[in-house]
Chain A
Amino acid sequence: MLECPKCSGTLRAIPGSYACQECGQTYPTHKDIALMGGSVSYWDIIPKKIMMEFLTEAEKNGWEKAIKESREQRIRELYLWTNNPSRSDITYYLPITDKSSVLDLGSGWGSYAFPLSKRVKSVVAADSCLESLKFINLRSTQDNIHNIIPVHMDPLDNGKLPFKSEMFDAVIMNGVLEWVGSYSKKGDPRKIQQNCLREAYRVLKRGGKLVIGMENRFGFKYFAGAPDDHLIYYSRDKKVAYTSILPRIIANIVTKMRLGVSYRTYTHSMNGHMKMLRRSGFGKIDFYYPEDGYRAVNTRIIPIPSASADRAMMKRYGNNSVFRFLGAIMGKHYFCDSFFIIGERTS
Chain B
Amino acid sequence: MIPQIKKEITGMALFNKCRHDNILFEKYASRSIRGSELEIITLKATFTDKGSEVRSIIVKFPRIFNSSAALRTLQNEYDNLHIVEKLLAGTELAGSPPNALFLKTINAAPVLAVEFLQGKCLSNLLFSSDIFNKFMTYSPEVLSWLRSFQELTRQCGQHPLKDHLDMLADFHKEQFPNFAISDGIKIGQIKKLFHELPSINTACQHNDFHADNIFISPDGRLRLIDWEDFSEKSIPSFDAIHFIATFIDALFLILKNSGRLTAIEQINSDENWKKCFEEYFEFCMSSLNIPKGLREVIIPIYLLQSIYLASDERKKASAAISKLNFLLSTFPISISDLAESLELYHISDSQSGNKQKARLIDKISDRLSSADILKQLKF
A-B Cβ contacts below 8 A, count:
64
Contacts of A306 in B (CB 8 A): 24, 26, 46, 48
Given A85-B36, A95-B3, A306-B24, 10 extra CB contacts under 8 A: A89-B27, A92-B1, A93-B2, A118-B64, A297-B32, A298-B32, A299-B29, A301-B27, A306-B26, A307-B52
A86 and B4 contacting across the interface, CB-CB below 8 Å: no
Per the 8 Å Cβ criterion, residues 80-110 of B in contact with A are 107-108
B27 and A300 contacting across the interface, CB-CB below 8 Å: yes
Number of interface residues of A (CB under 8 A): 28
A300 and B28 contacting across the interface, CB-CB below 8 Å: yes
A300 and B52 contacting across the interface, CB-CB below 8 Å: no
Q: Is B331 an interface residue (CB 8 A)?
A: no
Contacts of B28 in A (CB 8 A): 300
Contacts of B44 in A (CB 8 A): 308
Contacts of A307 in B (CB 8 A): 51-53
Q: Is B41 an interface residue (CB 8 A)?
A: yes
Closest residue of chain B to A304 (Cβ to Cβ) is B24
Contacts of B4 in A (CB 8 A): 95, 97
A93 and B3 contacting across the interface, CB-CB below 8 Å: yes
Chain A CB within 10 Å, residue with most, of B25, B27, B65: B27
B36 and A86 contacting across the interface, CB-CB below 8 Å: yes
Q: Is B30 an interface residue (CB 8 A)?
A: yes
How far is A307 from B47 in the complex, measured between Cα atoms in Å?
Answer: 12
Q: Is A84 an interface residue (CB 8 A)?
A: yes
Per the 8 Å Cβ criterion, residues 140-174 of B in contact with A are none
Q: Is B77 an interface residue (CB 8 A)?
A: no
Indicate with 1 or 0, residue by residue over B99-133, a CB within 8 angstroms of chain A CB atoms: 00000000110000000000000000000000000
Contacts of A308 in B (CB 8 A): 24, 26, 44, 46, 53
Q: Is B39 an interface residue (CB 8 A)?
A: yes
How far is A216 from B191 in the complex, measured between Cα atoms in Å?
Answer: 61
A298 and B29 contacting across the interface, CB-CB below 8 Å: yes
How far is A168 from B108 in the complex, measured between Cα atoms in Å?
Answer: 21
Q: Is B63 an interface residue (CB 8 A)?
A: yes
Closest residue of chain A to B3 (Cβ to Cβ) is A95
Contacts of A301 in B (CB 8 A): 26-27
What are some 23 contacts across the A-B interface (CB < 8 A)? A85-B36, A85-B63, A86-B30, A89-B27, A92-B1, A93-B1, A93-B2, A93-B25, A94-B2, A95-B4, A97-B4, A97-B107, A98-B108, A119-B65, A292-B29, A298-B30, A299-B29, A302-B26, A303-B24, A306-B46, A306-B48, A307-B52, A308-B24
B29 and A303 contacting across the interface, CB-CB below 8 Å: no
How far is A5 from B30 in the complex, measured between Cα atoms in Å?
Answer: 42
A84 and B36 contacting across the interface, CB-CB below 8 Å: yes
How far is A118 from B48 in the complex, measured between Cα atoms in Å?
Answer: 33
Contacts of B1 in A (CB 8 A): 92-94, 96
How far is A303 from B46 in the complex, measured between Cα atoms in Å?
Answer: 10
Contacts of B46 in A (CB 8 A): 306, 308
Q: Is A154 an interface residue (CB 8 A)?
A: no
B9 to chain A, nearest CB (A): 15
A281 to chain B, nearest CB (A): 20
How far is A291 from B29 in the complex, measured between Cα atoms in Å?
Answer: 9
Contacts of A97 in B (CB 8 A): 4, 107-108
How far is A83 from B4 in the complex, measured between Cα atoms in Å?
Answer: 27
How far is A211 from B191 in the complex, measured between Cα atoms in Å?
Answer: 58
How far is A119 from B66 in the complex, measured between Cα atoms in Å?
Answer: 10
Contacts of B26 in A (CB 8 A): 300-303, 306, 308
A272 to chain B, nearest CB (A): 23
A127 to chain B, nearest CB (A): 23
Indicate with 1 or 0, residue by residue over A72-108, a CB within 8 angstroms of chain B CB atoms: 0000000000011110010011111110000000000
Chain B CB within 10 Å, residue with most, of A92, A118, A299: A92
Closest residue of chain B to A297 (Cβ to Cβ) is B32
B3 and A86 contacting across the interface, CB-CB below 8 Å: no
Per the 8 Å Cβ criterion, residues 106-151 of A in contact with B are 115, 118-119
B41 and A89 contacting across the interface, CB-CB below 8 Å: yes
Closest residue of chain A to B4 (Cβ to Cβ) is A95
Identify the 3 closest CB pairs spanning chains A and B, nearest first: A95-B3, A301-B27, A300-B29
Per the 8 Å Cβ criterion, residues 31-71 of B in contact with A are 32, 36, 39, 41, 44, 46, 48, 51-53, 63-65
How far is A98 from B4 in the complex, measured between Cα atoms in Å?
Answer: 13
B302 to chain A, nearest CB (A): 29
Closest residue of chain A to B5 (Cβ to Cβ) is A92
